[in-house]
Structure 1
């Protein structure tokens, strides 16, 4: 079994780095062959652009999706993209390790998603969700926050964590076919002291030791939706993103 840890923090002595190292050790003890993509240390380019492909399909006008699709057949991508695509496809387990910044991932990790989850490689119109490219593979978010857990409760000031994570859980990982595991959250890391951080690492270790026993999160199958791309009337919404009734803000 192969595991890929994509690490997105600029400080090599950060607590995120300690979590990365704990995951690498624990998974290796579980029999995994572990690869770490250290995006900052390896100088991964965050911004998608014309240099992502070795030969432009349309030199006159840059269209990221069209260029990714044209390059997909021969994987004619820039070296950093090709390296990460190879690592991604070799992995049975993907862990994204990052600090939550502004309710999302650092820009370098967003760039990794934009450039590596290329159209025609990680997904296309016929290969999404339960028909996705990465069916049979698992993925998990592991991240730190500056805020305590109650801030992200359903009635918390920052809103329900399930909904905050939907763009990553649903819009990236599940859409591409991954079985998505519950996230691991290290809450309020700057404020819990050395003992608190040691306890977080111990909790993370225990979690990693039991990953193979976990059931993935639920996502609707494509068959749950009608031709209008909405849930069929006989299907009850089962994710943080789908619901019935009026919107509250739009």
Structure 2
């Protein structure tokens, strides 16, 4: 059997942080399973967050009207992306599993991790209009978010002060990972570890280690497949009429984003459907 590779994209400034302990637990457990584990420690690498002309080596196609997406796509085709981007893209290509490890900042990822997403997942390499969502380039790979929060779980419930965590996660899990074709595993959320005593934090790490033992056997989260949509600009890339009719009698929307004006399907972005489920 070929040895599998896991990439951990790590975004925390402090090597003694709980996030670092979570990262180390993942490295140890996955290596024990026979994985080759690669870690991109973005702060230690001083990874540049800003997407600029400096990401492109050589002449620009249109220097007077710079368009980052188009220019980086052309540079990717020609092998002219900056070395730091090329190195990270090589890691992504080799990875069977990618874990993004970070503290949640302002309902999203830290800027340095957002910069990794912006700069590494270039058009052509990670997506195209022909290869997106369930037809995506990385549909043979798995990816997941593993993160800490400053808030409690109850604060991020549908009736909590921060609102439903499923809504918060939709842009990252659907708009980034699913968009690129990844099979998105349910997130690993460490609720408010900064407010927990050491014994509770130790139990959180034990639970993470236990989950990692069967991680690749887990079902991914569900998203509507491309076959549900008319994939043309003329049709507006909207749900097919027959799909709308099929969904009319359902009590919930299809997903957190495709709610169709109905209640959101419970835990759509935090729990995968059980084995054998049609969802």
TM-score over 0.5 (shorter chain): yes
1:73 and 2:73 equivalent? no
What SS does structure 1 have at the residue aligned with 2:105?
Answer: coil
What SS does structure 2 have at the residue aligned with 1:105?
Answer: coil
Distance 1:64 1:231, change over 3 A: same
Deviations 1:75-113 (A, max 9, x none): 311111111000011100000000001000000000000
Confirm or deny: 8 A CA contact 2:254 2:260 kept in the other structure: no
How many residues matched? 246
**Counterpart position of 2:32:** 29
The CA distance in 2 between the partners of 1:228 and 1:130, in whole Å, is 18
Confirm or deny: 8 A CA contact 2:57 2:81 kept in the other structure: yes
**Counterpart position of 1:234:** 245
Structure 1 stretches of 4+ with a deviation exceeding 6 A read: none
1:105 and 2:109 equivalent? yes
| TM-score, normalised relative to structure 1 | 0.95
**Counterpart position of 1:202:** 206
**Counterpart position of 1:244:** 260
What SS does structure 1 have at the residue aligned with 2:29?
Answer: helix
Deviations 1:22-44 (A, max 9, x none): 00111111111000000000111
Comparing 85-94 with 232-241, greater Cα deviation is found at 232-241
| TM-score, normalised relative to structure 2 | 0.86
Deviations 1:54-74 (A, max 9, x none): 122222222111111111213
The CA distance in 2 between the partners of 1:135 and 1:186, in whole Å, is 27
Aligned-pair distance for 1:234? 3.0
Aligned-pair distance for 1:235? 4.7
Aligned-pair distance for 1:228? 2.5
**Counterpart position of 1:46:** 49
Unaligned runs of 5+ in 1: none
More relative contact order, 1 or 2 (CA 8 Å, 6+ apart) = 1
The CA distance in 2 between the partners of 1:234 and 1:123, in whole Å, is 30
